[in-house]
Amino acid sequence: MSKLNFTVVDADELAKKAVTRSSSFGPNSPLKRLFQMVVIKRECYINDLWELVGHETVSTRDEKRDDMRRAIDWLLKRLAAIDVVAFGEHLGMQMTDEYQPIPMPRVIIGVLVHSPSKPTILVYGNLDVEEAVVGDGWGTDPFVMTEIGEYLYGRGVAMDKGPLLCWLNAIQAYMDAGVRLPVNIVFVIESMAHCGSLGLETVLKERISFFRNVSCVVMATRRWQSATTPGLIYGSRGLIYYHLEVQCCNRDLSSFEHGGTLFEALPDLFYLLSCLTDPQLNVLIEGTAHAHPVDMNTVRCADFSYEEFGDNLLVPRLPNRRHKHLALAKNWAMPHLSIHGIEGANSEADVRFVIPHKVIGKFSIALAPNQRPEDVTKALQKHLGQVWLQRASPNKMMLCEKFVIPSWSGRCNSPEYLAATRAMSKTYNVKPNFIRDGGSLLAPSIFQRVLKKNVVVLPIAENDIGGSPVNERISVDNYIKGSQMLAAFMWEYAQTNPESDFVDGMCMPKD
Amino acid sequence: MSKLNFTVVDADELAKKAVTRSSSFGPNSPLKRLFQMVVIKRECYINDLWELVGHETVSTRDEKRDDMRRAIDWLLKRLAAIDVVAFGEHLGMQMTDEYQPIPMPRVIIGVLVHSPSKPTILVYGNLDVEEAVVGDGWGTDPFVMTEIGEYLYGRGVAMDKGPLLCWLNAIQAYMDAGVRLPVNIVFVIESMAHCGSLGLETVLKERISFFRNVSCVVMATRRWQSATTPGLIYGSRGLIYYHLEVQCCNRDLSSFEHGGTLFEALPDLFYLLSCLTDPQLNVLIEGTAHAHPVDMNTVRCADFSYEEFGDNLLVPRLPNRRHKHLALAKNWAMPHLSIHGIEGANSEADVRFVIPHKVIGKFSIALAPNQRPEDVTKALQKHLGQVWLQRASPNKMMLCEKFVIPSWSGRCNSPEYLAATRAMSKTYNVKPNFIRDGGSLLAPSIFQRVLKKNVVVLPIAENDIGGSPVNERISVDNYIKGSQMLAAFMWEYAQTNPESDFVDGMCMPKD
């Protein structure tokens, strides 16, 4: 059902041009001094990350709000130390699942303005992290950062405490090197990124005029596609998260006593879920399976070993005819449906002869960049309605759209993308891949929609092939080079002149 | 696929005959005195149950073995008080899941022999109970028996601590009434019934000659089919419990980063599980869907309101064309497949974009009494093999038979069934239903197979329509009348003369 459209553009040129245009990296260039300063302060920066990881900033757990408060205070102090004028904006109260009001974590807004004549970048970051429990398979305490070999282990080291501190390290490097910061910076740092960025949109909207001078929005998050070649992210798919609920009666029953006396809920649910994809996992929902044109060039350039990926994970046979570009295209820009789990049935190892009465299938559909969420949900409702009619089950079936993350795409043909390309080229000595992200990033889409500014995402962490949500890690090298790269980005961004001709004829992924 | 065969026999006659033959229930009959004695000691008996429920005898939880030890000691003391010579037979050690050896709970063996000329009944019981956690929805502490209205609430009050104590109460009544016990009794009381009766078979086999004089095996467990009419259970279906595992790689992945790059495990599993039954939940496995002939008479007599059942549970529409006899026949004697849950996927309420790498579908097939477990597993393997071949998934699929409970059927045309019928008729003033049990009872099948003795199951608890595994309860009336009924059973059993003609021409369910 899905078709791939390739358009051939030549992004290689971009990187080449970026490198050849660089004139600031001579032996005494400011960039070299900045890079050296970062290396000198290496231990301080690692220690900062150790301190920040120690705060259990799990936004999805209500009882961690005190940790969150301390982490925000910690960061405000650190920002003040590098001359950022920052404060925590209170967002009021939030209701817990038990209907208890608890305060929302503050959103940090900070400014570091040197001169109105310099361009102003908005740096977005988040302090909160995903849940982490030792019992899930962590080899170390997730909230005590531990250096093992060349890696730092701990929750948030790669997403997104490490990248956030890289910005602070980069600014510190300018101070240490005695180089004036070439850009103005506005910080927006939230702590509810793992709760759907609750409140972020309001903060932006209420201060819309405050952000009017911002030239672009930059964030350091996610990972490269490759283990060795840096990548810069120019867009991500949208996503709709669904609950599909089937209920057969008003309480759990025993298959001993009640097996055969009613239509059970789980078989209905499994049947419905089975009708959403074909064996190749193509989405079977009519009218929603069209693909976004994928830039053949970016896919081709992407440094990603599909075979190694498969071997590493012991995947019995790779789909997509083992073609890297098909797999990447599918992950970057085509609709995809994943089933994540089932609520309400027995998930424990014990034996229970239960007939679950209400079960919820949890799945998400990643959207091609040109798919409208409302169209997909409408088509899904229709599809499920038809299947349910055929099934003729008397049970209650309900589809619930839990949340939507719209897709976003950056304007690659812009100073910020050129600056990012140059900064990465100079830091890593290799031209970066232009990549899309298979995941759905909420913050870029909010910034793009509310502030109408171009967004560029600069990951600093290499792809940990087969890396799992537990034992999160980042290499010391990635952390240090990431700080250098952000320092370089600010430098390069100031060098770019939006009025100059460098954007013309540039071969970048289509916007 | 499934067909029902009805054979018409007239079980009504049995009960009538039982009542008319009774000559021992005059104003001064011993039975009347026994019944009165039970009523007089009512508060003592309730207190005993309160004490026993207080021991957390959860056999599936290793850390509860001390509670188990104390409960066994408590029962040994109680048995000694009614002149039963009892001891706890040590079964050696057992390995926990963490490979720690822990002692198995002792099996209590007790004898109460008055005279070799009297018949000897073997009374089976179990001390262990199902897991109970307040958080699962208990309104009271499950291990503190609580009297609310006419009910006693607590784990084990109905299964099977209450019924076990009824035997002790019944014997106590004989002592209190100054009536000599009319039968010899051998007790076998295990505490691993919820762990597949581990060790029970060994104990029986090692003492096979000890049990040679036993005439029949009697146990009080399960519930009636009806809320008002007592039932005696003359058989139950077999059961096979399966794990169906699908694995797609060696660790959980993120649908963000990996969606589209491999064949996921959950869609495969749901597809396989969907192919096992049709929308009416008929088992689709070839050659296994034949039904056991069901006694039309027992089904017809069974006091069970299907409509009330449906209304109580808010079932949107009842299957089996709302016919009670079809539903009961299906539950009693036809194969049935229930899916209980999924291991390895996200079952929590939180949002995780996980692609589970190894998922296990847990389901059981209840067997018609004439189905051989090995035939069913073989057919299931073949069926899944064909479906899997069509699916052409590269993932690993594995079917694992976790355990088997064979079906069993009592010989209804026997003194023990007549005595049971009489005892129930006299206690409850209504002829009992002859019922099969939809559940699979392991102990009767072990006793029948190892000792080659006839088994009769005498439930004392009314069917709590829609009763759930939490908030287990028994009415005080059921508990007290149950004690009376077991006293009556012993009396009636002694009256029956296996050599007499009462068994001829009796219209009972076919053996």
To the nearest whole Å, the CA of B109 is away from the closest chain A CA by 28
Interface pTM (ipTM) of the complex?
Answer: 0.80
Q: Please check the confidence at residue B347 and state whether its pLDDT lies above 70.
A: yes
Assess if CATH 3.40.630.10 describes domain B6-236+407-503: yes
pLDDT of B350: 81
Task: Supply the pLDDT for residue B117.
Answer: 87
- Write the pLDDT tens digit of every residue in A326-351: 888 888 888 899 999 999 999 988 88
Q: What is the arithmetic mean of pLDDT over B318-346? A: 86
Distance from CA of B283 to the nearest CA of A (A): 11
Binned at pLDDT 50, 70 and 90, residue B280 comes out as: confident
Mean pLDDT over B387-402 rounds to 96
B56-84: per-residue pLDDT in tens? Answer: 999 989 999 999 999 999 999 999 999 99
Average pLDDT, chain A: 87
List of chain A residues whose C-beta atoms are within 8 Å of the C-beta of residue B438: 255-260
Domain ranges of chain A: 23-236+407-495, 238-292+334-405
Distance CA B334, CA B3 (A): 9
Chain B residue numbers touching A310 (CB-CB < 8 A): 262
CB atoms closer than 10 angstroms to residue B311? 13
Q: Are B44 and B134 a contacting pair, CB within 8 Å?
A: no
Q: Say if CB B433 and CB B295 are below 8 A apart.
A: no
Secondary element (H or E) of residue A420: helix A415-428
Token pair belonging to B362: 């847990």
What's residue A75's pLDDT?
98
HEC states along B209-246?
HHHCCEEEEEECCCECCCCCCCEEEEEECEEEEEEEEE
In this chain, the answer to whether the domains covering B6-236+407-503 and B238-292+334-405 adopt an identical fold is: no
Q: Yes or no: say if B461 and B380 are a contact pair by the CB < 8 Å rule.
A: no
Contacts of A357 in chain B (CB under 8 A): 313
Place of tokens 């799945």: A363
Torsional sign, CA A259, A263, A266, A267: positive
Is the pLDDT assigned to residue B42 strictly greater than 80? yes
Give the mutation candidate from B133, B194, B262, B358 for the A interface (greatest A CB count, under 10 A): B262
Tell me the Ramachandran region of residue B285: left when phi exceeds 0, alpha when psi lies from -120 to 50, beta otherwise.
beta
End-to-end CA distance of chain A: 25
A310/B262 touch (CB, cutoff 8 Å), yes or no = yes
Mean pLDDT along residues A250-271: 91
Residue of chain B with shortest Cα separation from A237: B256
Pull the structure tokens for residue B97: 């899941």
What is the rounded (10 degree) CA torsion for A487, A490, A495, A496? 130
B294 CB contacts (<8 Å, ≥6 apart)? B4, B5, B6, B7, B329, B332, B333
Q: Do B248 and A316 touch (CB under 8 A)?
A: yes
A258/B264 Cβ within 8 A: no
Residues of A with CB below 8 A from B327's CB? Answer: 260-261
Give the architecture (CATH level 2) of A238-292+334-405: 2-Layer Sandwich (3.30)
Q: Assess contact for B185 and B84: CB atoms under 8 A.
A: yes
Q: What does each C-alpha distance from B218 to B49, B276, B428, B507 come to in angstroms?
A: 21, 37, 19, 22
- Looking at residue A467, its pLDDT comes to 53
**What is residue A506's predicted lDDT score, i.e. its pLDDT?**
31
B309: closest chain A residue by CA: A261
Across B139-143, B339-343, B433-437, least confident range = B433-437
* Residue of higher predicted confidence among B177 and A467: B177
Segment A7-12 mean pLDDT: 38
Residue among A331, A345, A396 whose CB faces B341 most closely? A345
In whole angstroms, what is the distance from residue B321 CA to residue B323 CA? Answer: 5
- On average, the pLDDT of chain B sits at 87
Q: Are the CB atoms for A461 and A418 separated by under 8 Å?
A: no
The residue assigned the tokens 């004829």 is A505
The percentage of residues in chain A with a pLDDT greater than 90, rounded to a whole number, is 64
Question: Which residue, A317, A407, A26, is CA-closest to B262?
Answer: A317
User: Which residues 186-205 in chain B show a CB within 8 A of chain A?
Assistant: none
**For A159-213, what is each residue's pLDDT tens digit?**
999 999 999 999 999 999 999 999 999 999 999 999 999 999 999 999 999 999 9
Q: Is B338 on the interface with A (CB under 8 A)?
A: yes
Q: How far is CA A283 from CA A235, A339, A390, B253, B266, in A?
A: 22, 12, 19, 19, 15
Kindly determine whether residue B316 and residue A364, on different chains, have CB atoms separated by under 8 Å.
no
Q: Is A221's Cβ below 8 Å from some Cβ in B? A: no
Q: In terms of CA atoms, which chain B residue is nearest residue A251?
A: B313
Q: Give the chain B residue nearest A252 (alpha carbons).
A: B468
**Rounded distance between C-alpha atoms, residue A169 and residue A37, angstroms:** 10
Summarize the confidence of residues B469-478 as an average pLDDT.
91
The CATH architecture annotation of domain A23-236+407-495 reads 3-Layer(aba) Sandwich (3.40)
Question: Containing H/E element for A122?
Answer: strand A120-126
